[in-house]
Amino acid sequence: METDTDRDSELPWTSARALRDKIQNKESSAEDLCRAFLHHAQSKDKDIGAFLELNETHILDQARAVDAKLARGQELGALAGVPVAIKDNLCVSGEITSAGSKILSDFRPPYDAHVIEKLRAADAILFGKVNLDEFAMGSSTENSGRHITKNPWNLDYVPGGSSGGSAAAVAAGFAPLALGSDTGGSIRQPASLCGVMGLKPSYGRVSRYGLLAFASSLDQVGPFARNVEDLALLLEVISGHDARDMSSANTAVPNYLQNLNGDLSGLTLGLPKEYFEATLDPEVLALTKAAIAKLESLGATTIDISLALNKYAIACYQIISTAEASSNLARYDGVHYGHRSDKVDDLLSLYSRSRTEGFGPEVQRRIMLGTFVLSTGSYDAYYLKAQKTRQLIRLEYDKAFRHCDVMVSPTSPFAAIKIGEKVDDPLTMYASDALTVSANLVGVPGLVIPCGFSKEKLPVGLQILGPHWSEQTLLNVAHAYQSVTDHHTKHPE
CA distances from 185 to 137, 189, 313 (A): 11, 6, 12
Q: Is residue 18 part of a domain?
A: yes
- Quote the pLDDT of residue 278: 73
Do the beta carbons of residue 218 and residue 440 sit within 8 Å? yes
Q: Mind listing the pLDDT tens digit for each residue in 297-313?
A: 999 999 999 999 999 99
**DSSP string covering 100-117:** T-GGGTT---SS--HHHH
Q: How many CA atoms lie within 13 A of 293 on its CB side?
A: 6
Can you tell me whether residue 460 is helix, strand or coil? strand
pLDDT above 60 (res 4):
no
Question: For residues 220 and 188, what is the distance between their CA atoms, to the nearest angstrom?
Answer: 12
Question: For residues 59 and 71, what is the distance between their CA atoms, to the nearest angstrom?
Answer: 19
- Quote the pLDDT of residue 275: 95
Give the burial string for 300-332 (b: 16+ CB within 10 Å, else e): bebeebebebbebbbebbbbbbbbbbbbbbeeb
Classify the C-alpha dihedral 159-316-438-312 as positive or negative: negative
Active centre residues (catalytic): 87, 162, 186
**DSSP string covering 30-61:** HHHHHHHHHHHHHHHHHHH--EEE--HHHHHH
- Quote the pLDDT of residue 209: 98
Average pLDDT over residues 85-101: 98
As a whole number of Å, the CA-based R_g of the chain is: 22
Average pLDDT over residues 162-189: 98
Exposed/middle/buried for residue 268 (C-beta within 10 Å: 0-12, 13-18, 19+): middle
Question: For residues 444 and 438, what is the distance between their CA atoms, to the nearest angstrom?
Answer: 9
Q: Is residue 320 part of a domain?
A: no
Q: Mind listing the pLDDT tens digit for each residue in 197-253?
A: 999 999 999 999 999 999 999 999 999 999 999 999 999 999 999 999 999 999 999
Question: For residues 233 and 379, what is the distance between their CA atoms, to the nearest angstrom?
Answer: 43
Residues near 395 by beta carbon (within 8 Å), at least 6 away in sequence: none
Average pLDDT over residues 148-152: 98
Strands 51-53 and 125-130: antiparallel
Q: Is residue 130 part of a domain?
A: yes
Do the beta carbons of residue 459 and residue 194 sit within 8 Å? yes
Nearest Cα residue to 88 out of 76, 73, 105, 74: 105
The percentage of the chain sitting over the pLDDT mark of 70, rounded to a whole number, equals 98
Question: For residues 400 and 392, what is the distance between their CA atoms, to the nearest angstrom?
Answer: 12
136: confidence class by pLDDT, cuts 50, 70, 90: very high
User: How high does pLDDT run on average in the chain?
Assistant: 96
Classify the C-alpha dihedral 265-268-273-279 as positive or negative: negative
Average pLDDT over residues 374-401: 97
* Number of structural domains the chain divides into: 1
Q: Is residue 104 part of a domain?
A: yes
pLDDT above 90 (res 6):
no
pLDDT above 50 (res 3):
no
Q: Is residue 4 part of a domain?
A: no
Residue 272 pairs with which residues in a beta bridge? Answer: 305
Classify the C-alpha dihedral 404-407-408-409 as positive or negative: positive
Q: Is residue 177 part of a domain?
A: yes
- Quote the pLDDT of residue 1: 34
Strands across the sheet containing 83-87: 51-53, 125-130, 83-87, 177-181, 221-225, 197-200, 446-453, 459-465, 406-410, 268-272, 301-305
Question: For residues 339 and 170, what is the distance between their CA atoms, to the nearest angstrom?
Answer: 31
pLDDT above 70 (res 172):
yes
Enter the pTM of the model: 0.96
Do the beta carbons of residue 475 and residue 469 sit within 8 Å? no
Q: Is residue 367 part of a domain?
A: no
pLDDT above 60 (res 59):
yes
Q: Is residue 359 part of a domain?
A: no
- Quote the pLDDT of residue 8: 60
Question: For residues 482 and 477, what is the distance between their CA atoms, to the nearest angstrom?
Answer: 9
Can you tell me whether residue 199 is helix, strand or coil? strand
For residue 38, what are the domain limits?
9-311+391-489
Question: For residues 169 and 38, what is the distance between their CA atoms, to the nearest angstrom?
Answer: 12
Do the beta carbons of residue 198 and residue 442 sit within 8 Å? no
Positions of E strands within 182-292: 197-200, 221-225, 268-272
CATH number at residue 104: 3.90.1300.10
Question: For residues 162 and 145, what is the distance between their CA atoms, to the nearest angstrom?
Answer: 12
Question: For residues 366 and 360, what is the distance between their CA atoms, to the nearest angstrom?
Answer: 10
Question: For residues 413 and 26, what is the distance between their CA atoms, to the nearest angstrom?
Answer: 46
2: confidence class by pLDDT, cuts 50, 70, 90: very low
